[in-house]
Each structure stands twice: as C-alpha cells, then as structure tokens.
Amino acid sequence: MPEPLIYLDHNATTPLDPRVLNAMLPYLRDAFANASSPHAAGRAVARAVDVAREQVASAIGADPREIVWTSGATEANNLAIRGAAASPAYRGRSRIVTVATEHPAVLEPCHALALQGYEVVTLGVDVDGMIDLEGLQEAVTPETLLVSVMFANNETGVLQPISEIGALCQDRSVLFHTDATQAFGREGIDVNRAHIDLLSVSAHKAYGPKGSGALFVRRKGPRARIEPMLLGGGHERGMRSGTLNVPGIVGLGVAAGLAAEGVETGRVRTRTLRDDLERRLEVRFPGLMLNGHRTNRLANTLNATLPGIPAQRVAECALGLAVSSSAACTSAKRLPSYVLRAMGLSEEAIRSSLRFSLGRFTTQAEIECVADRLADAIADAASEAPACDPDPF
C-alpha cells in the first residue's frame, strides 16, 4: 500500500478547512439566491456577504466598505495596478515602481502598462531577496503613481519591510499596493499601521476555496482611486461588476476569521516544525543551502538548494511527498525561477532547488519522514527508470 501523502506545498494552495466547507455548503445547496435580488431570499444571501466582508476587513484592520470581491489575487493585482493607472485622479503620473521578485500577476500588468507608455522601474534584490529601501526612495519621484511590493514572496517566503515602504509612499503621496497573498492568514496585517492603500488576497492560500479573493481599497487618508476592469452591472460600488460568488465569498470570510484568530499560535507552531525540517535536511544532505533571508521569512517556508539533484524531476515524480521545484512554482510554464536568479543563484543551483511550505495540518510525524522520502525520490530520479510524465493530457 502506498505511503500517505505528505503535503508540503501550501504556498501553491492549501486544503479546504472543513469548517470553511461547512459554512459554504448552505450557499451551494439551499441559499442560492442572487445577492443583488430584492426579495427575502436575496436579502438573506446579501447579509451573508456582508458578514464575510466584515470578517475579511477585520483580519487586515480595514473598514468593510474597503473590501472589493474578486476571483482571486491575480484579478485583485490587475485591478489594483491597472485600475489605478486608468484613474483620472492620477493623470500626469506615469511611473510605476515594483520589484524583480514579484509574482507574474504583478509583473505582467506592469509590463502591459509599459507597452502603453508608462515608465516601469523594476528594483533588484540582494542575495537574501530583500529590497534596498534607499534604492526605493531614489526610485520614487514626483511622477510616481504607484509602488507595488509583495508582502511575502511565494518562493522563498521572504518578508519585505512593508511598514517602512508604506511610510515612504505616504510621505511622497504615492499609492502603495502589496500582494499579500502569501502573508494573509500567516502574518499579522494592519493596513493602517503599514500605510497600505491597496492590498490583494486569495482564499485558497488561507484554507478557503479557489476562485475567491479580495482587494482592499483605501477609502480615506487619502482615498485610493481605481477604475474598474469589468463593466456590466456596477457591483462592488462600481469597482467590479459581476454576480457575486456567494459560496466562495462566505468561504473566504470564514477562512479569514479562522486565520485571524490563530495567526500567532499558528506561526510559532509552524516555525518550530519548519526549523526541525531544516535541521533534519541539513543532517541528511550536508551540502544544503538556504535560499532567502534566514529570519525575515514566512514561518512555513523553506527554499533550499541541494547541489546536484534534479529538483524538477524529484518534485514531479516523488511518491508520497508533495513539494515544489524552482522550475514549477512560478507559473503554469515550466521555466527556471526568475526569483532565485534575481537573488544571484546560478542556473545549476536553481535547477537543484526545492521549496517546502508547511501548513495548518502538517504534523511532527510527517516532518520526521520527509528526509527519508526525499532521499528515496532523489534515488529514483537518478535511476535508469524512464522519467515520469507529470502532465499526460
């Protein structure tokens, strides 16, 4: 009988928490009315949406009226960046500042704007994956419209100095957007203390359902202005038209509430397990090298180079162990990690790097088995057996 799966790929997606599923089920079966309908059934569903809005807002220190529902963080990032660029309120400002290690959902909208004539400044990072605040300060000019810096990197877990960046942007009267997809539910977030104007989240990284997300849009101090990308109904105060995905929204709300209740205890528990995993891997694989900042990173994330291993094949073919290679965690395209390349890693080191990302349901017993399963996977990948096909369709 095959060994039970040890799932250490939570930065890619998390399992649906049973409590979240239970909250969603009534809105998948009986309470199916449109939240915009005026009848009693519609109003009842709308109240559930309002509760979810309050739950998400509370998790990040926002006003419920500042939460705009989206299909996920990719849409939220696009709405924040492209929506701000399209706003007449910022006419005359044509510079956007971002970072080389951002998710494609930030980099590609910025590239699209560059093709339209915007000046996009892409800052580099140091060997630990951290940006240089002095370099950022120099990049923010009177022509700057928006700065977009990821809260926590999806590959390395590196945490950027968000509060310092927010203060800098506020002093310069520049919009500050952060993709908080990986930090939401794992790190404490306060949009007011951190001077954040726009913030993106996705439910499925926080034990909620896929296809549900949100964008925080500041209402005052000052108000962030964005133009909609989707037209056709004026939903979400005109910022995002479309019939609301009520089960997904309810799920995101419950997931946000559960995460907010246990951020600190979860962080301590997960960090303990991750540090134990790191020690065990260092013993089993003496050449292991950590990628990313040792302390300024998510408590659940370990990205490491194991020199000489075919990381992508190990990740694709390992039985009973789910981890990501640096060739597979950036997008649907199987390309070497631009994040690790921006940190100065060689192509050989990138091809030998794996990401382990722990979660709410990871156990100590599982951590004790990882090194052995990884060693077996490496041996299998180095054998003469035909390579497995990770995508047969």
Percent share of the chain, pLDDT over 90: 87
Q: Which residue of the set 110, 317, 329, 369 is catalytic?
A: 329
Asked if 148 contacts 98 with a C-beta cutoff of 8 angstroms, the reply is: yes
pLDDT of residue 332: 57
pTM over 0.75: yes
* Sole residue written with tokens 């039985």: 319
Interval 115-147: pLDDT, tens: 999 999 999 999 999 999 999 999 999 999 999
Three-state DSSP class for residue 46: helix
Three-state DSSP class for residue 374: helix
Average pLDDT of every residue of the chain: 93
- Cα 285 to Cα 304: distance, rounded to the nearest angstrom: 11
Torsion of CA 238, 216, 357, 264, to 10 degrees: -150
Query: What sign does the CA torsion over 281, 282, 288, 293 have?
Result: positive
Interval 206-255: pLDDT, tens: 999 999 999 999 999 999 999 999 999 889 988 999 999 999 999 999 99
Residue 385 reports pLDDT greater than 60: no
- The neighbour count for residue 118, using CB atoms within 10 Å, is 18
Residue 384 reports pLDDT greater than 50: no
Structural domains of the chain sorted by starting position, each given as residue range(s) with its CATH number in brackets: 6-15+262-382 (3.90.1150.10), 18-261 (3.40.640.10)
Active site residue 169: no
What are 188's two structure tokens?
């404490």
- Cα 156 to Cα 298: distance, rounded to the nearest angstrom: 8
Band of residue 336 on the pLDDT scale cut at 50, 70, 90: confident
